[in-house]
Every structure is written in structure tokens, then in C-alpha cells.
Amino acid sequence: MRPMNLPPLHRAAALGPLAALGLGGVAGCSSADSAPRTAEVRKSAPDVSPAPSGTASATSTSTSTSTSTSTSTSTDIGWVQLMTPMNQQAVKLLTLAAERAAEPRVRAFAVRLRTGHEAELNRLRPLLTRMGLPLTDVHAGHDMPGMVTEQDLEAAHAAEGPALDRLVLARIRDHLRQSAEVSRSEITAGGRADARELARALVTAREGFLAELERLPGAVRALG
């Protein structure tokens, strides 16, 4: 097992356009264990992402009444197969932060963002099903830009007080930035209307939460 030292606060450079993630969505991975794992199914998450504090709701409460019947492109497949595990891993770190962060505002932020990510998962998983894709994590064991890794979670469990807050802020900032970037690629190059609609909602939510995160206590020190 790797030592549980606090990881560096900045990830590798962001991924290129999502087109590079096509044909299974595994380009750009650093594979430690390529065996897929079954995606976790969380219960009772709401269908609407809550708005960042002081902003309007980021995710519309209404969805298209008709499901797109467009053929899924490699961009659509790469995006949904990446965004689903990215959210699942972020939820694990946010759950820890909601319980143990030293700063109350960081804990409250983690609760709101976790709720929003669970709501997004309630839309991403049905999209996988509509596209005929399995609810498996094709990126299991891969070190992807913006992905909260098992090593990150181990480090978070070992950290306490302000050190934990700094780790959470840095990792979640990377996650929000990268997931927004790949979602913008889906908006531009995706073929399915329902996938592009969800990608737009994700980008809006992430822009609001990023602005809020950067105002949190300790953010300047954590993010540099």
C-alpha cells in the first residue's frame, strides 16, 4: 500500500477534448487495475442539484419530456462513463468532509455539493441505461485528472483539522474544474440531446460551486 502522506495539492494538466476519451472512454488513464467495478447505487438522492450559497438554482427542475433517440457517439460514451465515477468518488470525499472538516463553512459546502452530485448521479445512471451501457466503472484503478483516488481518500482519513480542509478544497477544486471542462466538450461535440442537456446543467452547477469554494476559509492557502 502507498504511504498515506498528504498528496500534492495540484493535479496533472487537464484532459484534452472528450473526443480523445472515445471508444470506451479510457484514453488518458494511468492504469493500476483495469478490472471494472460495479457502480455504487445511492438511495433517495433528490433530482435537483441545490444552488451554491447565494446563487440561483444551477440545475433545472424540469427535464425534457422526450428522450433523445439519437445514436450515441464516442464523445457521449466517453463523457458519461467518466462523469459517473468522477461523481461517485467525489461523493466519498465530500461525505468525509461533511463529517470531519474543521471549518463549519467547509462542512456546509460539502453537504450541499454532495447533495448536488447525488442528484446528478440520479440522471447519469439512467442515461447510461438508455445508452445501453453497463453501470460499471471503466476507470477503476486509473489515475484520471480530476478524479478523487483511493490514495486521496486514504490521505483524507489520516488528515485532521486544517490539513484535512486544505486537502478537501484542493481535490474538490480539481474535480470541479476538470468535470466542467470535459462537460463543455460534451456540449460542443456530443451527439445526444439528453446528454448535452445534462452536461450543460453540470457546467452551470460547477461554475457556481467553484466560485463559492474559492471564497471559503482556508481556500487561499489550500489553492495557492
In 10-120, beta strands by DSSP E: 37-38
d(CA 52, CA 50): 7
pLDDT at 142: 72
pTM of the full predicted structure?
0.72
Answer for the pair 99, 177: CB distance below 8 angstroms, yes or no: no
What residue type is 132 in one-letter code? Answer: G
Answer for the pair 53, 106: CB distance below 8 angstroms, yes or no: no
pLDDT at 135: 87
Q: How confident is the model at residue 13 (pLDDT cuts 50, 70, 90)?
A: very low
Answer for the pair 56, 43: CB distance below 8 angstroms, yes or no: no
Which one, of 18, 46, 213, 38, lies nearest residue 121 by Cα?
A: 46
pLDDT digits (tens, 9 = 90+) for 128-180: 999 999 988 887 777 789 999 999 999 999 999 999 999 999 999 999 999 99
What residue type is 79 in one-letter code? Answer: W
d(CA 135, CA 5): 32
> In degrees, to the nearest 5, what angle opens at C-alpha 38 toward C-alphas 16 and 143?
35
Query: What is the secondary structure of 117-144 as a DSSP string?
Result: HHHHHHHHHHHHHHTT--SEETTTTB--
Q: What share of the chain is helix, strand, coil (3-state, %, to 5)?
A: 55, 5, 45
pLDDT at 224: 65
Q: How confident is the model at residue 14 (pLDDT cuts 50, 70, 90)?
A: very low
pLDDT digits (tens, 9 = 90+) for 24-45: 343 445 444 433 333 333 333 3
pLDDT at 138: 80
For the chain, state the CA radius of gyration. Answer: 17
The three grid cell numbers given for residue 168, joined into one nine-digit string: 478537501
Q: How many CB atoms lie within 10 A of CB 123?
A: 20
Instruction: Taking each helix axis as running N to C, give the angle between helix 74-100 and helix 161-189, from 0 to 180 degrees, rounded to the nearest 10.
Output: 160
pLDDT digits (tens, 9 = 90+) for 67-115: 433 589 999 999 999 999 999 999 999 999 999 999 999 999 999 999 9
**Bridge partner residues of 31 (DSSP):** 142
